Amino acid sequence: MFALAFLVSGVALGVLNDGATVVDLGVVRLQAGLGVILLCTLLAGVLLGGLAIVVSVVMPLRRAQRSASPATAGAVPATASLASTTEP
């Protein structure tokens, strides 16, 4: 459902912004429709934002989890004690 909504909004963005635009990056010049350029910059922003979240949140949490797991390696999980009490 979300994919269809984003597809419709992308088509509407492309139709409403169909003028040719040139983006000069210094080394290379890109010529495309304004809608395509807007969608590409939106995608680049989402990817860079996701990368920032992974670097600033996910990686430190995984590192903390890895360092805490050897301390609890000898502990018996709670589900193991339940499984041993329910014999058929």
Residue 83, in any domain of the structure: no
pLDDT of residue 79: 59
What is the Cβ-side half-sphere exposure of residue 48, based on CA atoms within 13 angstroms?
6
Residue 85, in any domain of the structure: no
Predicted confidence band of residue 3 (pLDDT cuts 50, 70, 90) = confident
Give the whole-angstrom CA distance, residue 60 versus residue 69. Answer: 14
pLDDT tens per residue across span 17-48: 778 889 888 899 989 888 888 888 888 999 99
37 burial (CB, 10 Å; 0-12 / 13-18 / 19+) is: middle
Determine the distance from the C-alpha atom of residue 79 to the mean position of all C-alpha atoms in its chain, rounded to a whole number. 33
When the pLDDT of each residue in the chain is averaged and rounded to a whole number, the result is 80
Between helix 34-53 and helix 2-16 the angle, nearest 10°, is 140
As given in the structure block, the two tokens for residue 8 are 């419709």
Could you list the residue range(s) of the whole structural domain that residue 42 is in?
8-56
Residue 30, in any domain of the structure: yes
